[in-house]
Amino acid sequence: MPSDVETLQPERISTDPAQSLFPLKVRQLVYNVGKQRLIDGIDLTIEKDRRTIIMGPNGAGKSLLLRLLHGLLTPTEGEICWGETPRVDQARQRQALVFQRPVLLRRSVGANLCFALKLRRYTRAEREERLRHILELASLSHLADRPARVLSQGEQQRVAVARALVLEPEVLLLDEPTVSLDPVSVEAIEELILAVHRRGTKIILVTHDMAQARRLADEVVFLEQGRVVEHSLSRQFFQQPSAATAHIYGSSRVVL
């Protein structure tokens, strides 16, 4: 099973902060498996400041799109351009991806977070400072010395998000990070997502949870059968659905 650790690279990468990753432009994106087309000609332009929520029914291509954006999969056709960064693998150095289910090392919570920093060759002083900061941000300081794998499912997922954030990514991609979690754990992770967004991290999150989308979304990208059928601001999405998506959710789309 993949984990967000797998997206890390073995050495520190110097990046030019003036070289923006936005707007993210996706043009005629196609992804095939054998003869089956799973992503079918997606066109998107995504700006930095909004929290972008990707939604759609099961099998719509949400998780595939996230992996394509992060460079874990190679498109069959089309182009992904992260702002002024010419290659997706270069852009990935400035991103982090958290999967549905955390895969944690057989180490303490603190050691799980430090592992990511050691891969990037941060000094011990740098590691200690970043570790202290992210433990406080994620409300995990009291669990720093606890073995990560004995924690509750919600706590483990919070560790996975914190491990992604310890490298201070410019973009945080999350693939249904609160699936099957209890309400308290969902609230804790959503608060962490909102906190890092306020600090300037771009959020792109996949969810099938309509209530969560309402709480977190600034804009919604709605997929069906590998295609974008709606891309709109959240208020418009929930109050004035397009004909293409209204038939999927019906009156449940109208809230607020």
Per-residue buried b or exposed e for 242-255, using 16+ beta carbons within 10 Å of the residue's own CB: eeebeebeeeebee
pLDDT over 80 (residue 3): no
Is-cis flag, bond preceding 23, omega within 30? yes
What secondary structure does DSSP assign to 17-82, as a single string? TTS---SEEEEEEEEEETTEEEEEEEEEEE-SSSPEEEE-STTSSHHHHHHHHHTSS--SEEEEEE
Structure tokens, 142 = 């009291």
> pLDDT band at residue 248, thresholds of 50, 70 and 90?
low
Strands (DSSP E) along the chain, which ranges? 24-33, 36-46, 52-55, 77-82, 95-98, 171-175, 202-206, 219-224, 227-233
- Among candidates 243, 199, 245, which has minimal Cα distance to 220? 245
Predicted model pTM: 0.89
Determine contact, residues 242/229, Cβ cutoff 8 Å: yes
Structure tokens, 41 = 């000609």
Task: Give the model's pLDDT for residue 11.
Answer: 38
Residues 54-82 pLDDT 10s: 999 999 999 999 999 999 999 999 999 99
Distances (CA, A) of 75 to 7, 40, 86, 169: 18, 11, 15, 23
Structure tokens, 82 = 């992260």
Residues 130-145 pLDDT 10s: 999 999 999 999 999 9
Determine contact, residues 166/172, Cβ cutoff 8 Å: no
